Amino acid sequence: MFEFLASIDVSIILFGAFALLLILGMPIAHALGAATLVVIYVHDIPGVFMTQTAYSASDKFPLMAVPFFVLAGYLMEFGGISKRLTDFAGMLIGHIAGGFACVTILSCMFFAAMSGSGPATVAAIGSIMIPAMIRHGYSRPFAGAVASTGGTLGIMIPPSNPMIIYAVVANVSVTGMFTAGILPGLIVGATLIFASWWICRRKGFLGRERAATISEILRSLVDARWALLAPVVVLGGIYSGVFTPTEASVVAVNYALFVGAVVYRELTWQSIYRALLQAVLVGGTVTIMVGLAGTFGRILTQFQIPQQLSTYVLAVSDNWFVVLMVINIGLIIVGTFMETLATIILLTPILLPVVVALGVSPIHFGILMVITSEIGFLTPPLGANLFVAMPIAKVTLEEISRAVVYFIGVLFLLVVLLTAVPGISVWLPELMR
* Interval 158-213: pLDDT, tens: 888 899 999 988 989 998 999 999 999 999 999 999 999 999 888 887 767 677 88
pLDDT of residue 207: 67
pLDDT of 93 over the 80 cut: no
pLDDT of residue 357: 87
Distances (CA, A) of 419 to 36, 86, 181, 355: 33, 32, 14, 12
Q: How confident is the model over 17-68, as pLDDT tens digits? A: 888 888 888 887 788 888 888 888 888 888 788 888 888 877 877 778 888 8
Q: What is the dihedral of CA 7, 11, 16, 17, to 10 degrees?
A: 80
Query: Is residue 406 included in any domain, yes or no?
Result: yes
Nearest to 76 by CA among 256, 254, 266: 256
**Mean pLDDT on 102-108:** 89
Cα separation, 198 vs 193, whole angstroms = 9
Q: Are residues 120 and 22 in the same domain?
A: no
Q: Are residues 100 and 203 in the same domain?
A: yes
Q: Are residues 22 and 99 in the same domain?
A: no
pLDDT of 73 over the 60 cut: yes
Query: Is residue 54 included in any domain, yes or no?
Result: no
Q: Are residues 96 and 193 in the same domain?
A: yes
Q: Are residues 109 and 19 in the same domain?
A: no
Query: Is residue 94 included in any domain, yes or no?
Result: yes
Nearest to 426 by CA among 369, 384, 373, 366: 366
Count Cα neighbours of 118 within 13 Å in the Cβ-side half-sphere: 27
pLDDT of 222 over the 60 cut: yes
Asked if omega into 62 is within 30° of 0 (cis), the reply is: no
Q: How confident is the model over 386-426, as pLDDT tens digits? A: 888 998 899 998 899 999 999 999 999 999 999 999 999 99
pLDDT of 3 over the 70 cut: no
Q: Are residues 67 and 18 in the same domain?
A: no
Query: Is residue 51 included in any domain, yes or no?
Result: no
Q: Are residues 233 and 269 in the same domain?
A: yes
Which ranges in 43-80 belong to alpha helices (H)?
48-58, 65-78
Count Cα neighbours of 72 within 13 Å in the Cβ-side half-sphere: 31
Cα separation, 165 vs 238, whole angstroms = 17
Query: Is residue 6 included in any domain, yes or no?
Result: yes
Cα separation, 102 vs 306, whole angstroms = 43
Q: Are residues 140 and 39 in the same domain?
A: no
Q: How confident is the model over 113-136, as pLDDT tens digits? A: 877 777 888 888 888 889 888 888
Q: How confident is the model over 283-330, as pLDDT tens digits? A: 788 788 778 877 887 887 787 777 777 777 777 777 889 999 999 998
Contact 154/117 with Cβ under 8 angstroms? yes
Q: How confident is the model at residue 4 (pLDDT cuts 50, 70, 90)?
A: very low
Query: Is residue 56 included in any domain, yes or no?
Result: no
Residue type, 135: R
Q: How confident is the model over 344-398, as pLDDT tens digits? A: 888 888 889 889 988 899 999 999 999 998 898 888 877 788 888 998 899 998 8
Nearest to 184 by CA among 421, 433, 432: 421
Cα separation, 79 vs 170, whole angstroms = 35
pLDDT of residue 1: 44
Q: Are residues 66 and 17 in the same domain?
A: no
Q: Are residues 236 and 273 in the same domain?
A: yes
Residues 6+ apart with CB under 8 A from 270: none
Cα separation, 405 vs 254, whole angstroms = 39
Cα separation, 39 vs 45, whole angstroms = 8
Contact 377/162 with Cβ under 8 angstroms? no
- Around Cβ 171, how many Cβ atoms within 10 Å? 10
DSSP output for 362-403: HHHHHHHHHHHHHHHTTSTTT-HHHHHHHHHHT--HHHHHHH
pLDDT of 147 over the 60 cut: yes
Cα separation, 18 vs 219, whole angstroms = 56
Contact 156/181 with Cβ under 8 angstroms? yes
> What is the value of pTM for the model shown?
0.84
Label residue 206 exposed, middle or buried (CB < 10 Å: 0-12, 13-18, 19+): middle
Q: How confident is the model at residue 8 (pLDDT cuts 50, 70, 90)?
A: low
Q: What is the number of structural domains in the chain?
A: 2
Q: Are residues 296 and 415 in the same domain?
A: yes
SS3 329: helix
Query: Is residue 76 included in any domain, yes or no?
Result: yes
Q: Which residues span the domain enclosing 31?
A: 2-45
Cα separation, 206 vs 201, whole angstroms = 8
Query: Is residue 50 included in any domain, yes or no?
Result: no
- Residues 373, 376, 381, CA angle at the centre, nearest 5°? 155
Q: Are residues 34 and 66 in the same domain?
A: no
Which ranges in 204-244 belong to alpha helices (H)?
214-223, 225-239
pLDDT of 7 over the 50 cut: no
